[in-house]
């Protein structure tokens, strides 16, 4: 569904504020795209399947030196490496409650409360305030 004119205008304001406040971050986002670092999906999937095959295959085979299923251990380590690769390559998410200086609300635009004034409120109260402001701003 396409954005309305009001939403497109707000998005352009946020984008221009980002370029003005933090040009280094804006240029890095422009290079990598909005999703951040891309995950090596094929590699992760391949490693996960290979690890699973080694894990199950190591239990099915009679090759157990000293009674220890070494092939299964190798399969587990390969699956673990795939999991670490997924976690290291996934884009970092922002921590809730941190102050975002680049947002229009933090500058006091539209008479909205700044994040510092919301710090004493509970999460549900802040979400309620945002919900109310969203419908007050719509034409």
Q: pLDDT of 55-111, one tens digit each? A: 999 888 888 888 888 999 999 999 999 999 888 876 554 444 444 444 444 444 444
Domain ranges of the chain: 41-89
Low-confidence winner among 25-29, 63-67, 94-98, 135-139 (lowest mean pLDDT): 94-98
DSSP H or E run through 93: none
Instruction: Kindly indicate the confidence band of residue 137, based on its pLDDT and cuts at 50, 70 and 90.
Output: confident
Q: pLDDT of 11-23, one tens digit each? A: 888 888 888 887 7
Three-state SS string across 41-81, please? HHHHHHHHHHHHHHHHHHHHCCCCHHHCCHHHHHHHHHHHH
Alpha carbon distance 10, 7 (integer Å): 5
Alpha-carbon 129 to chain mean position: 24
3-class SS of residue 106: helix
Q: pTM surpassing 0.85?
A: no
Q: Give the pair of three-digit tokens for residue 35.
A: 């999703």
At residue 111's C-alpha, the angle toward residues 110 and 115, to 5°, is 100
């Amino acid at each position: 569904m396409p954005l309305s004119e009001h939403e497109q205008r707000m998005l352009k304001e946020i984008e221009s504020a980002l370029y003005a406040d933090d040009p280094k971050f804006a240029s890095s986002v422009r290079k990598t795209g909005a999703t951040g670092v891309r995950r090596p999906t094929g590699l992760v999937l391949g490693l996960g399947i290979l690890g699973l095959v080694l894990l199950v295959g190591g239990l099915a085979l009679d090759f157990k030196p000293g009674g220890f299923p070494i092939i299964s251990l190798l399969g587990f380590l390969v699956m673990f490496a795939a999991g670490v690769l997924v976690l290291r390559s996934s884009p970092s998410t922002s921590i809730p409650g941190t102050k975002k200086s680049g947002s229009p609300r933090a500058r006091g635009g539209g008479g909205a409360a700044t994040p510092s004034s919301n710090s004493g409120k509970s999460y549900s109260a802040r979400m309620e305030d945002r919900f109310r402001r969203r419908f007050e701003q719509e034409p």
